[in-house]
């Protein structure tokens, strides 16, 4: 029996603004911990978010470059979950009404042909802070410099059929956001990172299989590593994962990204946070 | 004149006297600080008094006046609800969670009042996180009603209302999410204005339910509130929901006659919950306004009965999310020796929040959770739209509406404490105004025995001036707002 790989990518592009998405704090990378966060980023009582206009302009720029529809009215939503580096107990993101919908991006295939990949949506959201483990004996540290950094999450349709296509798509999008000047594309610093939703199905089938999510692919070489699915081991893994998710009933194929994200966070909580007393510095 | 000697009681009169040099701001401020020290132990209207800051601000105001630089509110004292952040001074929201928290910034309202030269006497008691209608839900103990110390002052701005009624401050700030300015104003016999949503900045005003919360002034007369509105209102670049409008002088229309104004009387407010003496008080006020030239019109708000359930779904949902930040990680109460992260969260929050706050967080989390969202939260938002449409339609035929603020006068401490549903019903006539985002004002009408009665005026969007004008004309005619509790004589 022949199998086919189906891949959709979610790219998080950090927008190259001087200040954060909802506050005036600077976004400089590599600064001393907790020096790039103001009361809004810290989620102090009484603060309110004010949307950075540049962020909207940058999202629209990408939308136009993708030939997408720019939503005349776009809404921010709160994803509520508890995590120590999420200061407000929710992430401000877009859910039902993203700013960019229905675009396309042409990619160049290894054989020289061009393929058009559909871009479902691109939405604005704020990044969370960072938990630092192992630096303080008995404690975990929290660095909120990154909290509130503007991200554009660019979601493709599951139009990619091989790891090579996925890499080509990533490279095209990377070149585009850099050309547009909306993202510096620095993968080491996490300015451009990618999650892959991968599933397999029998060749010729119209139905999508249960997807597995591969998080935080932050370099092109790395992107080639987890994606190749030709080996039997990977196939087997996916089939096992498929059954496991179905049995657990929690990560079904229809499950949306937010829920999956919450599930991951909750697991992280119990897994690598045994000593809960946190300090800010 | 109060038991306090030779100081006039209303802000308007105090402003005139200060301008005429009859006394200084330092003397006036000292007068209130003395009264607070002597009498507040019986009322518990303040959580924190700040004598040093107040005297310093008073001195600055006097100095400015000597240089001829005093504005209309310069040197006048006020009490500040402990929900407005004040840089360097504790802001507790009456919660154990924030019992020792100091904001690093001033709320825009606080900054505006300070820039106008006003003197902050202290931070007033309230229901925890503004959730409550009796001021019994405070980590710092209940507030007592100056008209009868065995009764509640209403809530959540109960400390502000009681402080003004007891003449411990001439005016105060309040916030109103479902009636939290108007209901305590009614129960304490003072005047309170909940402005149009977006009229007053919410920056630095600790959030309860963001789509409903609105700050506003409380005081002894409509005139006094108009003076405060001149400073409190205005758009704020830090609050994206504040509305950009040309500045208004809220005192400019107070003197206009009421002839030709159409005042609607919503028939749904005459329901089974309304006590007969309050209904009589409202009817008497309507007759008075008619004598003053207004025309009375019967109006209908068909969905008024659904306001309370819709309100408690929407407000609790937003509260559950807004209060997630109190997790014991970065600020506020943290439990001792947590075992793990889940323990840190659950014990910090269980210890830091009182019973009513926890109840609303649970309700809010439930109505937002997957599978219940459509049945509860979305439905409540749909009802909210129906309620708003009712008001918009009614305002096609009337300029304002008149009704009761509360179904009953002040109840006894502890009387409804174990019965949340009865407690929630004390906001039955006020929550619809918040759901629709409209301005509402409560002012004293004919009292029932020794207990004040609140008359509620509801205005169209940005119709605060109209409300203040009607209230001022009514107050000039009747003088109910000048009735004072015996406690004020002390």
A227, A229, A230, A236: CA torsion to nearest 10: 150
pLDDT-derived band at B397, boundaries 50, 70, 90 = very high
Alpha helices (runs of H) in A74-219, residue ranges in sequence order = 163-180
Residues of B in contact with A142 (CB under 8 A): 329-330
Nearest CA in chain B to A144: B330
Average pLDDT over residues B331-337: 96
Kindly name the residue from B180, B242, B320, B408 that is annotated as catalytic: B180
pLDDT-derived band at A75, boundaries 50, 70, 90 = confident
Question: A130-136 and A278-279: which strand pairing?
Answer: unpaired
Active-site residue flag, B194: no
Judged on CB neighbours under 10 Å (0-12, 13-18, 19+), B66 is exposed
Residues of B in contact with A50 (CB under 8 A): 237-240
Q: What percent of chain A has pLDDT over 70?
A: 77
Inspect the interface and report whether the beta carbons of A42 and B341 lie closer than 8 Å.
no
Give yes or no for B205 touching A (CB within 8 A): yes
Residues of A in contact with B97 (CB under 8 A): none
Tens-place pLDDT, residues A165-217 = 998 999 999 999 999 999 999 988 889 999 988 888 888 888 887 777 877 77
What angle is formed at CA B111 by the lines to CA B105 and CA B113, rounded to 5 degrees? 150
Q: What percent of chain A has pLDDT over 90?
A: 52
Asked if pLDDT for residue B459 goes beyond 50, the answer is yes
Asked if pLDDT for residue A277 goes beyond 80, the answer is no
Q: Is residue A195 classed as helix, strand or coil in its secondary structure?
A: strand
More confident residue, B348 or A213: B348
Among residues A82, A87, A75, A183, the alpha carbon closest in space to that of A128 is found at A87
pLDDT-derived band at B8, boundaries 50, 70, 90 = very high
Kindly state the greatest CA–CA separation across chain A. 61
Write the CA distances from B354 to A27, A120, A167, B128, integer angstroms: 38, 45, 53, 7
> Per the structure block, which two tokens stand in for B61?
């105001």
Query: What is the residue whose two structure tokens read 């609303």?
Result: B360
Residue B4: the pLDDT is: 47
Q: φ, ψ for residue A215 (rounded to 5)?
A: -95, 155
Inspect the interface and report whether the beta carbons of B103 and A46 lie closer than 8 Å.
yes
More confident residue, A70 or A236: A70
Q: φ, ψ for residue B324 (rounded to 5)?
A: -65, -25
Give yes or no for B187 touching A (CB within 8 A): no
Nearest CB to A80; choose among B84, B321, B331: B321
Inspect the interface and report whether the beta carbons of B240 and A273 lie closer than 8 Å.
no
Give every CB contact of residue B89 below 8 A, 6+ residues apart in sequence.
Answer: B48, B50, B53, B102, B123
Query: What is the residue whose two structure tokens read 């000697």?
Result: B5
Residue B407: the pLDDT is: 96
Q: Within a 13 Å sphere around the CA of B292, how many CA atoms are in the beta-carbon half?
A: 23
CB A92: neighbour CB atoms within 10 A? 17
- As a whole number, the mean pLDDT across chain A is 79
Residues of B in contact with A89 (CB under 8 A): 321, 323-325, 327
Residues of A in contact with B343 (CB under 8 A): 276
Asked if pLDDT for residue B255 goes beyond 60, the answer is yes
> Which residues 240-279 of chain B have a CB within 8 Å of chain A?
240-241
Q: Within a 13 Å sphere around the CA of A263, how many CA atoms are in the beta-carbon half?
A: 13
Kindly name the residue from B25, B45, B81, B123 that is annotated as catalytic: B81
- Residue B206 C-alpha, separation from nearest chain A C-alpha, in angstroms: 4
More confident residue, A215 or B379: B379
- Residue A25 C-alpha, separation from nearest chain B C-alpha, in angstroms: 14
Alpha helices (runs of H) in B323-419, residue ranges in sequence order = 341-352, 355-368, 379-394
Among residues B367, B474, B453, the alpha carbon closest in space to that of B147 is found at B453
- Residue A250 C-alpha, separation from nearest chain B C-alpha, in angstroms: 13
Which residues are registered as beta bridge partners of B176? none
pLDDT-derived band at A136, boundaries 50, 70, 90 = confident
Give every CB contact of residue B8 below 8 A, 6+ residues apart in sequence.
Answer: B1, B14, B17
What's the rounded Cα separation, in Å, for the pair B271 and B283?
14
Sorted by where each begins, the domain ranges of chain B are 11-258+463-489
Judged on CB neighbours under 10 Å (0-12, 13-18, 19+), B168 is buried
Asked if pLDDT for residue B51 goes beyond 90, the answer is yes
pLDDT-derived band at A226, boundaries 50, 70, 90 = very low
DSSP state of B22: S
Query: What is the residue whose two structure tokens read 């409202």?
Result: B282
- Residue B224 C-alpha, separation from nearest chain A C-alpha, in angstroms: 27
Write the CA distances from A231 to A3, A195, A238, B111, B310, integer angstroms: 11, 21, 11, 66, 56
Residues of B in contact with A49 (CB under 8 A): 240
Query: What is the residue whose two structure tokens read 């039955």?
Result: B428
Rg (CA), chain A: 19
Residues of B in contact with A78 (CB under 8 A): 321
> Per the structure block, which two tokens stand in for B262?
């159409």
Give yes or no for B331 touching A (CB within 8 A): yes
Rg (CA), chain B: 21
Q: Which of A220-234, B219-233, B332-346 has the lowest mean pLDDT?
A: A220-234
Residues of A in contact with B91 (CB under 8 A): 45-46
Residues of B in contact with A48 (CB under 8 A): 202-203, 238-241
CA B150, B155, B159, B164 dihedral sign is: negative
Give yes or no for B374 touching A (CB within 8 A): no
Residues of A at the B interface, defined by Cβ within 8 angstroms = 39, 42-51, 78, 80, 82, 84, 87-90, 142, 259, 269-270, 273-274, 276-278, 280
- As a whole number, the mean pLDDT across chain B is 96
Active-site residue flag, B74: no
Q: Please report which helix (H) or strand (E) contains residue B57, including its range.
A: helix B51-66
CB B100: neighbour CB atoms within 10 A? 11
Residues of A in contact with B93 (CB under 8 A): 45
* Torsion region of B185: left, alpha or beta (phi above 0 gives left; psi -120 to 50 gives alpha): alpha
Q: φ, ψ for residue B419 (rounded to 5)?
A: -130, 80
Residue A231: the pLDDT is: 40
What's the rounded Cα separation, in Å, for the pair B242 and B234?
7
What's the rounded Cα separation, in Å, for the pair B165 and B76?
17
Active-site residue flag, B156: yes
Residue B382: the pLDDT is: 95
Give every CB contact of residue A56 below 8 A, 6+ residues apart in sequence.
Answer: A99, A124
A134, A135, A140, A146: CA torsion to nearest 10: -110
Q: Are B472 and B457 in contact (CB under 8 A)?
A: no
Query: What is the residue whose two structure tokens read 């809960």?
Result: A276
Q: Please indicate, yes or no, whether the overall pTM of this predicted structure exceeds 0.80.
A: yes
- Residue B321 C-alpha, separation from nearest chain A C-alpha, in angstroms: 7
- Residue A48 C-alpha, separation from nearest chain B C-alpha, in angstroms: 6
Inspect the interface and report whether the beta carbons of A48 and B202 lie closer than 8 Å.
yes
Q: Please report which helix (H) or strand (E) contains residue B444, including its range.
A: strand B440-444
Straight-line distance from the first to the last Cα atom of chain A, in angstroms, rounded to the nearest whole number: 56
Q: Are B452 and B470 in contact (CB under 8 A)?
A: no
Nearest CB to B330; choose among A42, A46, A80: A42
Nearest CA in chain A to B239: A48
What's the rounded Cα separation, in Å, for the pair B304 and B429?
8
- Strands (DSSP E) contained in A83-234 are 90-93, 100-108, 114-126, 130-136, 139-143, 150-156, 192-202, 212-217
Write the CA distances from B474 to A205, B161, B165, integer angstroms: 77, 20, 19
CA B10, B13, B18, B22 dihedral sign is: negative
Asked if pLDDT for residue A235 goes beyond 90, the answer is no
Q: Are B431 and B458 in contact (CB under 8 A)?
A: no
Give yes or no for B98 touching A (CB within 8 A): yes
More confident residue, A225 or B146: B146
Nearest CB to B85; choose among A45, A88, A273: A45
pLDDT-derived band at A145, boundaries 50, 70, 90 = very high
pLDDT-derived band at B5, boundaries 50, 70, 90 = low
Average pLDDT over residues B132-154: 98
* Peptide bond between residue B156 and the one before it cis (omega within 30 degrees of 0): yes
pLDDT-derived band at B467, boundaries 50, 70, 90 = very high
Which class does domain B11-258+463-489 fall in? alpha beta
SS3 for B125-153 is CCCHHHCCCCCCCCCCCCCCECCECCECC
Inspect the interface and report whether the beta carbons of B325 and A274 lie closer than 8 Å.
no
Nearest CA in chain A to B344: A276
Nearest CB to B107; choose among A46, A49, A277: A46
What's the rounded Cα separation, in Å, for the pair B241 and B201?
8
Q: Which of A10-24, A174-188, A266-280, B253-267 has the lowest mean pLDDT?
A: A266-280
Residue A276: the pLDDT is: 22
Sorted by where each begins, the domain ranges of chain A are 3-279
Asked if pLDDT for residue A83 goes beyond 60, the answer is yes
Residue A220: the pLDDT is: 65
- Residue B84 C-alpha, separation from nearest chain A C-alpha, in angstroms: 8
Asked if pLDDT for residue B23 goes beyond 60, the answer is yes
Asked if pLDDT for residue A253 goes beyond 70, the answer is no
Residue B227: the pLDDT is: 98
Inspect the interface and report whether the beta carbons of A46 and B207 lie closer than 8 Å.
yes
Question: A69-70 and A100-108: which strand pairing?
Answer: antiparallel
Kindly name the residue from B45, B74, B156, B316 that is annotated as catalytic: B156
Inspect the interface and report whether the beta carbons of A39 and B104 lie closer than 8 Å.
yes
Asked if pLDDT for residue B465 goes beyond 90, the answer is yes
Give every CB contact of residue B374 below 8 A, 6+ residues apart in sequence.
Answer: none
> Per the structure block, which two tokens stand in for B459?
């205005």
Residue A230: the pLDDT is: 43
């Amino acid at each position: 029996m022949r199998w086919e790989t189906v891949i959709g990518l979610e790219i998080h592009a950090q927008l190259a603004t001087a200040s954060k998405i909802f506050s005036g704090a600077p976004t400089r990378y590599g600064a001393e911990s907790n020096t790039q966060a103001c009361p809004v980023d810290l989620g102090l009582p009484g603060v309110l978010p004010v949307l950075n206009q540049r962020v909207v302009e940058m999202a629209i720029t990408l939308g136009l470059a993708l030939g997408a529809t720019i939503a005349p009215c776009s809404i921010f939503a709160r994803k509520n979950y508890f995590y120590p580096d999420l200061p407000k107990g929710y992430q401000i993101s877009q859910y039902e009404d993203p700013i960019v919908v229905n675009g396309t991006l042409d990619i160049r295939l290894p054989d020289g042909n061009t393929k058009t990949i559909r871009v479902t949506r691109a939405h604005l959201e704020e990044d969370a802070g960072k938990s630092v483990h192992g630096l303080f004996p008995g404690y975990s540290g929290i660095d909120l410099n990154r909290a509130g950094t503007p991200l554009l999450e660019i979601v493709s349709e599951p139009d990619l059929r091989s790891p090579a296509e996925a890499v080509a798509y990533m490279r095209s999008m990377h070149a585009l956001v850099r050309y547009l000047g909306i993202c510096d594309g620095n993968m080491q610093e996490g300015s451009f990172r990618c999650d892959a939703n991968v599933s397999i199905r029998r060749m010729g089938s119209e139905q999508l299989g249960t997807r597995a999510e591969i998080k935080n692919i932050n370099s092109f070489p790395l992107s080639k590593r987890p994606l190749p699915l030709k080996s039997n081991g990977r196939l087997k893994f996916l089939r096992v994962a498929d059954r496991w998710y179905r049995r657990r009933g929690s990560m079904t194929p229809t499950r949306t990204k937010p829920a999956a994200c919450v599930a991951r966070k909750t697991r992280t909580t119990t897994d690598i946070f045994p000593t809960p007393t946190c300090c800010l510095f | 004149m109060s038991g306090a000697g030779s100081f006039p009681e209303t802000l308007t009169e105090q402003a005139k006297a200060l301008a005429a040099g009859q006394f200084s701001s330092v003397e006036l401020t000292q007068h209130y600080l003395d009264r607070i020290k002597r009498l507040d132990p019986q009322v518990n209207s303040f959580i924190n008094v700040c004598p040093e800051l107040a005297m310093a601000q008073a001195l600055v105001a006097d100095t400015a006046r000597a240089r001829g630089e005093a504005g209309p509110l310069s040197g006048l004292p006020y009490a500040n609800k402990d929900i407005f952040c004040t840089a360097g001074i504790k802001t507790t929201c009456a919660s154990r969670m924030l019992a020792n928290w100091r904001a690093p910034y001033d709320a825009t309202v606080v900054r505006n009042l300070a820039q106008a030269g006003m003197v902050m006497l202290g931070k007033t008691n309230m229901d925890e996180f503004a959730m409550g209608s009796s001021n019994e839900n405070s980590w710092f103990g209940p507030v007592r009603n100056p008209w009868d110390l065995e009764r509640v002052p209403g809530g959540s701005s109960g400390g502000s209302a009681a402080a003004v009624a007891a003449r411990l401050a001439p005016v105060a700030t309040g916030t109103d999410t479902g009636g939290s300015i108007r209901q305590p104003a009614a129960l304490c016999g003072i005047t309170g204005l909940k402005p149009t949503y977006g009229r007053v900045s919410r920056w630095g005003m600790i959030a309860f339910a963001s789509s409903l919360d609105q700050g506003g002034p409380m005081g002894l007369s409509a005139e006094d509130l108009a003076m405060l509105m001149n400073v409190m209102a205005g758009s704020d670049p830090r609050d994206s929901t504040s509305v950009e409008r040309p500045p208004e002088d809220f005192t400019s229309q107070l003197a206009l006659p009421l002839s030709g104004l159409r005042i609607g009387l919503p028939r749904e407010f005459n329901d089974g919950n309304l006590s007969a003496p309050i209904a009589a008080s409202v009817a008497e006020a309507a007759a008075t306004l008619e004598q003053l030239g207004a025309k009375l019109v019967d109006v209908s708000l068909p969905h008024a009965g659904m306001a309370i359930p819709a309100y408690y779904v929407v407000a609790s949902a937003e509260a559950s999310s807004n209060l997630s930040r109190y997790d014991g990680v970065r600020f506020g109460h943290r439990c001792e020796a947590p075992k793990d992260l889940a323990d840190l969260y659950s014990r910090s929050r269980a210890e830091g929040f009182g019973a009513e706050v926890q109840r609303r967080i649970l309700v809010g989390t439930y109505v937002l959770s997957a599978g219940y969202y459509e049945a509860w939260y979305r439905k409540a938002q749909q009802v909210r739209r129906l309620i708003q449409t009712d008001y918009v339609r009614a305002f096609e035929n009337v300029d304002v509406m008149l009704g009761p603020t509360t179904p009953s006068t002040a109840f006894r401490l502890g009387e409804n404490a174990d019965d949340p549903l009865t407690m929630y019903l004390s906001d039955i006539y006020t929550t619809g105004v918040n759901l629709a985002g409209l301005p509402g004002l409560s002012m004293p009408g004919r009292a029932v025995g020794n207990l004040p009665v609140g008359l509620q005026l509801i205005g169209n969007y940005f119709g605060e001036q109209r409300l203040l004008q009607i209230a001022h004309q009514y107050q000039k005619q009747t003088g109910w707002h000048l009735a004072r509790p015996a406690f004020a004589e002390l």
